């Protein structure tokens, strides 16, 4: 697997390990089984000096959620060429469950 592929997989796994956030995949939560690639990768952009990860927030408040998410993603990038890259976490959507008093605000 290429360095890009290893970093991408590490970022996907990091996000999946965080309660309250999921990748903002344009095709929905799961791609069709017949697809030859992992659609979750569409939520991540790896540029030479920056990394952008688009997420859907499922809990509020956002500030602590984004701090936790950023820390997990930074840790996932430690042993990659993006260890010192600019990291952007973009909340592309807010899940309605975030407004449920039991789960979020």
Which residues, in sequence order, are CB contacts of 81 under 8 Å at separation 6+?
3, 7
Whether the per-residue pLDDT at 31 is higher than 70: the answer is no
Assigned token pair, 21: 């956030």
How much is the pLDDT for 105? Answer: 54
How much is the pLDDT for 33? Answer: 73
Q: Show the CA angle centred on residue 18, arms to residues 46 and 41, nearest 5°.
A: 30
More confident residue, 22 or 40: 22
Domains of the chain by range and CATH?
3-99 (3.30.70)
pLDDT tens for 47-91 read 999 999 999 999 999 999 999 999 999 999 999 999 999 999 999
Query: What's the whole-model pTM score?
Result: 0.87
């Amino acid at each position: 697997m290429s360095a890009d592929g290893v970093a991408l997989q590490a970022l996907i796994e990091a996000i999946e390990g965080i309660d309250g956030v999921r990748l903002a995949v344009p095709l929905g939560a799961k791609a069709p089984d017949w697809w030859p690639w992992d659609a979750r990768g569409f939520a991540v952009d790896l540029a030479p000096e920056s990394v952008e990860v688009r997420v859907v927030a499922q809990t509020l408040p956002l500030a602590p959620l984004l701090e936790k998410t950023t820390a997990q993603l930074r840790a996932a990038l430690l042993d990659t060429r993006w260890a010192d890259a600019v990291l952007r976490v973009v909340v592309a959507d807010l899940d309605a469950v975030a407004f449920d008093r039991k789960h979020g605000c």
